[in-house]
């Protein structure tokens, strides 16, 4: 007995389909998944208007007082945790050869080409690959990207090393007023000024909806919103050793971390996607990423696990304007590529064995429908985006790239 679309049904199923039907079903489900996480339309101002509306002065930054720092003179390199003078020396398995191909930005205005610094941080191994492959010459530029080579890297784990320019960018580019961080596997397809205007003027939700400028914007995870769910998913996917993840989550639980519930609203998620960060470089956002980096340094390099802990502690003491936007919006202005090693695997020749034509499919099952009422829910649409007083005209809707 089964319930299908509100009908009580006696369902007689045929024998399992052959293997080729299973393959088709897998591909069909994959297509559904890809559609689900595809880009959604995002409203951007024209580039000229976005440039004209860039603030002339930095936003006021709240001051967090009574900070406490702990310094240990004798740090131990033994044991599971510990990695630099920040917080110890973790013993981690080195991961090499998985660096990303260079993705040239597109749809970039001439003004952005002249005024925006496109910086790409690489290690010495990646630099050697760029030189030997002929992609980088003596100018140390690859297209729009200016290559910055990191030396004397404090970690052996490439994942942890990548968090240094990601979270401590204000130290590496101290004169920057704004920044847009992209993981190496992403291609920028919208002008930086349009992105900054869009995400630095978002509505910031408090107990009542009050419009304020946003100092830090990051996309929420497309699927998960709870730290405990994220930790389990990391363990299943082998992103990090299970003991280290369990140690970190148990530590946060003892500090008061609880699963995400509606009680946390207007905070919509505890788990960011993390591959894109749009931020204004002011003291409070710089402090946030410094504290976030401390967690990445002390525990695992999975920054999605530590994000909410740092955010919530900071928000409990100061009015930090941070927001999370939908992941489908992120996919509107960046296109995800693949790591170099995966591209090499995909480029390898594939041998295909042809099999005889399949037999006709079995007949459809017979449905014996029992009398029941079918209730089809109506779909209620939202009221549209709130416009603030004195809003700035119509925005241009840009659909996501489709590849």
pLDDT digits (tens, 9 = 90+) for 223-247: 999 999 999 999 999 999 999 999 9
pLDDT value of residue 212: 52
pLDDT value of residue 180: 94
Bridge partners (DSSP) of residue 280 are 178
188: pLDDT strictly greater than 60: yes
308: pLDDT strictly greater than 80: yes
Rounded mean pLDDT of 89-112?
A: 66
Q: Above pLDDT 90, what percent of the chain?
A: 39
290: pLDDT strictly greater than 80: yes
Enter the tokens of residue 256.
Answer: 């008061």
* Cβ neighbours around 184 below 10 Å, total: 18
pLDDT, greater one: 69 or 250:
250
Enter the tokens of residue 43.
Answer: 């409203």
Residues 402, 38: Cα–Cα separation, whole Å: 8
pTM: 0.69
């Amino acid at each position: 007995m089964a319930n299908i679309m509100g009908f009580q049904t006696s369902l007689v199923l045929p024998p399992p389909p052959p293997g080729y039907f299973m393959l088709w079903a897998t591909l069909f489900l994959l297509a559904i998944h890809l559609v689900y996480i595809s880009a959604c339309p995002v409203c951007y101002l024209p580039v000229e208007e976005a440039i004209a509306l860039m603030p002339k002065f930095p936003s006021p930054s709240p001051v967090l007082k009574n900070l406490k720092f702990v310094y240990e003179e004798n740090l131990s390199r033994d044991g599971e945790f510990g990695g630099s003078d920040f917080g110890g020396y973790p013993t981690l398995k080195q991961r090499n050869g998985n660096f990303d191909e260079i993705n040239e930005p597109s749809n970039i205005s001439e003004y952005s080409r002249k005024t925006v610094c496109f910086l790409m941080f690489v290690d010495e191994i990646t630099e050697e690959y760029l030189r030997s492959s002929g992609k980088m010459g003596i100018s140390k530029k690859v297209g729009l990207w200016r290559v910055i080579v990191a030396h004397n890297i404090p970690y052996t784990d490439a994942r942890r090393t990548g968090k240094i320019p990601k979270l401590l960018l204000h130290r590496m580019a101290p004169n920057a007023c704004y920044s847009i961080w992209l993981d190496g596997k992403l291609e920028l397809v919208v002008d930086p000024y349009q992105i900054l205007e869009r995400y630095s003027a978002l509505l910031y939700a408090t107990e009542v909806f009050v419009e304020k400028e946003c100092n830090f914007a990051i996309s929420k995870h497309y699927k998960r919103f709870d730290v405990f769910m994220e930790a389990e998913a990391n363990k299943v996917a082998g992103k990090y050793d299970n003991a280290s993840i369990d140690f970190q989550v148990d530590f946060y639980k003892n500090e008061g971390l609880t699963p995400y519930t509606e009680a946390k609203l207007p905070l919509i998620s505890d788990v960011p996607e993390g591959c894109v960060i749009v931020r204004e470089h002011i003291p409070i956002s710089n402090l946030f990423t410094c504290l976030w980096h401390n967690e990445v340094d002390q525990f695992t390099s999975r920054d999605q696990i530590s994000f909410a802990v740092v955010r919530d502690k900071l928000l409990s003491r100061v009015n930090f304007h941070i927001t999370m936007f939908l992941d489908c919006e992120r996919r509107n202005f960046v296109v995800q590529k693949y790591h170099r090693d995966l591209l090499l695997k995909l480029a390898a020749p594939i041998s295909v064995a042809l099999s005889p034509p399949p037999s006709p499919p079995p007949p459809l099952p017979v449905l014996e429908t029992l009398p029941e009422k079918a209730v089809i829910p109506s779909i209620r649409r939202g009221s549209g985006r709130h416009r603030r007083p004195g809003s700035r005209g119509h925005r241009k809707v840009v659909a996501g790239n489709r590849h």
